[in-house]
Amino acid sequence: MVTTRTHISLAGIPLDNPVIPASGTFGFGAEMAQVYDLDILGSISIKGTTRHPRYGNPLPRIAEGPGGVLNSVGLQNPGVEKVISEELPRLRRLFHKPIIANISGFSVDDYAWACERMDGEEQVGIIEVNVSCPNVHDGGMAFGTQPESAAAVTRAVKAVTTKPVFVKLSPNVTDIVSIALACQEAGADGLTLVNTLLGMRIDLQRRQPVLANKVGGYSGPAIFPIALRMVWQVAQACSLPIMGCGGVATAEDVIEMMMAGATAVQVGAENLRNPLACKQIIEDLPQAMDRLRIDRLADIIGAVR
């Protein structure tokens, strides 16, 4: 029986449910299509894409931690042109709904160029701009750590695109609200909160960092309360729709994120631990809603003030 209880609208795009695999944890979808029918998903945020191909960081890139995992993949991807010519046509045969194109860059021009190219792709419903990348023209400081630089990227992308632009913010800041407000003022259509937290592990025998890059992004259930707090803070201050992300692993986590202010919810590291995570969350949502006496998910967005 078809139900609309889990339906939501994200920046004007109707989704069957709010569950979206987060960029970097689902590849370009083809591998996961061997595990389950991708069309059960609300949408898919594809692997982070840059203007030029990137090999990524040296190995090892992954390290386990308590309640999560560190990664330092380094945006490995084939570049925008190959994603458009090869990955998107392949995904179009497997997933028949609008997707989210995640774009990274190392200069404002990089972001604008790649986003303009991706904007022309019919299946792309939303462009997600990852501002956690180091600005090569500003000493390597991430675009998302300063309101001015996050706004500059937002304005540049909005000037060359026609589709909704969501800016994905870094939690590695002291005041995420000021950055969110700067993106809103610069014309963003939505926000994704949050990217990974900066972390590190040390190999006690070798007395060396486990990751070749020394530090990496920490994700998994351990960061959920931090991500939830940031979603709630930004939802109180901004009028933009939010995709909540960070440590989501269960249907109850999805509901909690939505009560904090998220319209849709991305599942990241849990996909790496359990490839069936998104499928199980979607299947569990109606039962969780019944237990919590929730008729429609759309009714609980921002319920906690």
Exactly one of 133, 183, 238, 278 is catalytic; name it: 133
**CA–CA dist 262, 244 (Å, integer):** 5
**CA–CA dist 105, 142 (Å, integer):** 10
Which H helix or E strand runs over 199?
Answer: strand 197-199
**CA–CA dist 62, 5 (Å, integer):** 38
Inter-helix orientation angle 224-237/251-260, to 10°: 30
**CA–CA dist 5, 3 (Å, integer):** 6
Catalytic residue check, 245: no
Inter-helix orientation angle 108-119/147-158, to 10°: 30
Give the count of alpha carbons within 13 A of 237, CB side only: 18
Q: Is 207 left (phi over 0), alpha (psi -120 to 50) or beta?
A: left
**Number of neighbouring beta carbons within 10 Å of residue 12:** 10
* Tokens (6 digits) for 217: 């992004």
Which H helix or E strand runs over 147?
Answer: helix 147-158
**CA–CA dist 13, 230 (Å, integer):** 24
Give one DSSP letter per residue of 224-254, joined into a string.
HHHHHHHHHHHHHH--S-EEEESS--SHHHH
Just list the catalytic residues.
Answer: 133
